[in-house]
Amino acid sequence: MAQYHQILWSEGLFLTQHHFQQRDYYFDKDISFRIQSAAPFSRGVSRIVIDTEAISNKMFTLQELEGVLPDGTTIRIPRVDEPPPSRSLEEAFAPTDPTLS
């Protein structure tokens, strides 16, 4: 599983052939992913994997996520993007006592 990252260009950067090879590789993979994700719409989540063992421990852990946002940004966790930290479900959803009035 090869990883690809976008080049962060800056003034004064010493350019070598590897920068251009990485740029070409990044755009080739990005375009390929966009085309595969375009059916029937050009945005949305195409794959999501959640750690079910972590949920039994009251934690939410995202293992994999692939998709395209409405602005065209691609998300590929963990192949390209770093996964977000695990979240406690107890902190996110505090228990409440419902009352009827």
Q: What is the pLDDT of residues 45-101, one digit of tens each?
A: 999 999 999 999 999 999 999 998 877 788 999 999 999 999 999 888 877 888 887
User: What's 58's DSSP letter?
Assistant: T
Structure tokens at 30: 């990005």
Report which of 3, 86, 73 is spatially closest to residue 37, judged by C-alpha positions. 73
Domain ranges of the chain: 42-94
Residue 98 burial class via C-beta count within 10 angstroms: exposed 0-12, middle 13-18, buried 19 and up: exposed
What does pTM read for this prediction?
A: 0.56
- CA atoms of 91 and 10, how far apart (whole Å): 40
